[in-house]
Structure 1
């Protein structure tokens, strides 16, 4: 194999190794001391005191998660009831413009977003307009995102766009969402295409030199 082809393969392998490290999902558990310090930062940024928030608030629930953190990725399932009107739609777009970059900076991203189409069982679903599943790299990353000052404005937009939301944390038992595999397959296709292109260029040069 030519030197150019080896360089191409090493380059793609380095890109994939960097992506694997960045995407993470299997880090060290957050210590309670570190977690409480990050929650204190959240209080400062959002001008709140956890003790003053109601039962079921995000701050209280996240504090309760600290002793049980394992450092691994998780998925947040959002059950949303939307506000009506053009102003709510505009606020929703503004919220997404703030939150999506914050997620991606920390290896997070939406996995699934769907509008309710009907009911199969039960009645609670009548109150739900949309379900969104979001991947977080770790609890540490979630806390760091919430403590970002941009989330102050983001939360205001979220409040304006949603009448109510419930969020719970899950870890998949069975999943077909394999981001690492999809990225690996994409890079493998690029490797094949790149090797073929390099081969054609080298063959053309060889024919020109021979002529």
Structure 2
């Protein structure tokens, strides 16, 4: 019985952290600050942004404090393809060293990282992406904390040198697939079953 109580407490603690039970919604001022971070206004000499201020404002104002998913479609600069690929790999590694620890720290993680094939639709020129990322964010406040972090801003400035275009689409889960919280729960159930 003691073991089961310990396992239940472990699961509840993980669920509390993973779902962010204590996290509050973004304020109006934080929404404005989020736009500045996403649009690169914190970075000197940043080119004109394509981030829609109205979309970011709506994103912040409709914050329900719950998890969401971010679809990232990335197109690399073609003039870099003929250059030293080792340099591009170094950019990606340095970016990952900063971003992934920040994601995990805030209960966020990649759901899918893939390289797309050619699209079935026509015309498909605008859809020829080089990478697809789907990131699970614990909350909009966690996204805010990550992108306003000075370390992220420096890493993103470095990463921009290799990107020609990126489309970012936040989405609210309607029907979720595999959830890390329930995977942890099943592992704890298995531990309890094996231990009895």
Scaled to the shorter chain, the TM-score interval is 0.7 to 0.9
Q: Aligned ranges for residues 144-159 of structure 1 at < 5 Å?
A: 144-159=145-160
- Where does 1:2-17 land on structure 2 (aligned, <5 Å)? 6-17=1-12
TM-score after normalising by structure 2: 0.81
Correspondence for 1:134: 135
Which blocks of at least 5 consecutive residues in structure 1 are unaligned?
A: 1-5, 196-211
Segments of structure 2 that go 5 or more residues without pairing to the other structure are none
Matched, 1:78 2:79: no
Between structures 1 and 2, the one with greater helix share: 1
TM-score under structure 1 length normalisation: 0.75
* 1:19/1:41 CA distance change after superposition, 3 Å: farther
Residues 1:25 and 1:62: Cα distance change in structure 2 (over 3 Å): farther
Cα distance in 2 for partners of 1:69, 1:42 equals 17
Distance 1:162 1:134, change over 3 A: same
**Pair 1:34–1:191, CA change in 2 (3 A):** same
**Does residue 1:100 correspond to 2:100, yes or no?**
yes
Judging changes above 3 Å, is the alpha-carbon distance between structure 1 residues 161 and 136 closer, same or farther for their aligned structure 2 residues? same
> Corresponding residue for 2:110?
110
Q: Once the two structures are superposed, what CA deviation does each residue of 1:128-173 show, in whole Å capped at 9, x if it has no partner?
A: 0111100111111111111112112211332133232111111122
Which residue, out of 21, 26, 30, partners 1:30?
26
Is the 1:88–1:160 Cα contact (8 Å) retained in structure 2? no
CA RMSD of aligned residues (A): 2.9
Distance (whole Å) between structure 2 residues aligned to residue 7 and residue 154 of structure 1: 46
How many residues are paired up?
Answer: 186
For the pair shown, which has the larger CA radius of gyration, 1 or 2?
1
Structure 2 CA distance for partners of 1:110 and 1:189, relative to 1, 3 Å: same
Give the distance between the partners of 1:73 and 1:91, measured in 2 at CA.
29
